[in-house]
């Protein structure tokens, strides 16, 4: 099962534009194994967040990308919850990584 398949199996599907932006942001990594979903989603969220922080604009035109970052992080933790023993370490690593994007 790929990340794309894993995402499609979620019970609450995102709106079409958001789903398309999530898929675009995941890119070629969307064929990764299900165990890689948390890391791939955080990778993609981090990359898009860094791109957003580097843009001149801060207006409404960023809304879809901000929602995409949020959705990717949410999916990362939904997938990570399947392995509760590693959840705290994953949360700490993701929080540090995403926070670092704001100060770099």
Mean pLDDT for all residues in the chain? 88
What is the C-alpha radius of gyration for the chain, rounded to an integer number of angstroms? 13
Higher pLDDT among residues 66 and 6, named by residue? 66
pLDDT digits (tens, 9 = 90+) for 55-75: 887 778 899 999 999 999 999
Contacts of residue 90, defined as CB under 8 A and 6 or more positions apart, other chains included, come to 38, 76, 77, 80
What is the model's pLDDT at position 22?
94
What is the model's pLDDT at position 20?
93
Please name which of 41, 32, 47 lies closest in space to residue 79, comparing C-alpha atoms. 41
Structure token pair of residue 24: 């675009």
pLDDT digits (tens, 9 = 90+) for 39-58: 999 999 999 999 999 988 77
pTM for the full model? 0.88
Q: Across the chain, how many H-helices and E-strands are there?
A: 5, 0
């Amino acid at each position: 099962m790929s990340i794309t398949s894993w995402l499609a199996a979620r019970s609450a599907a995102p709106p079409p534009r958001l789903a398309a932006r999530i898929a675009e942001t995941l890119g070629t990594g969307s064929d990764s194994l299900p165990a890689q979903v948390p890391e791939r989603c955080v990778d993609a969220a981090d990359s898009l967040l860094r791109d957003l922080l580097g843009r001149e604009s801060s207006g409404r035109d960023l809304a879809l990308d901000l929602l995409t970052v949020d959705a990717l992080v949410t999916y990362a933790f939904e997938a990570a919850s399947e392995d509760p023993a590693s959840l705290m370490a994953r949360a700490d690593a993701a929080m540090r990584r995403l926070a670092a994007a704001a100060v770099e």
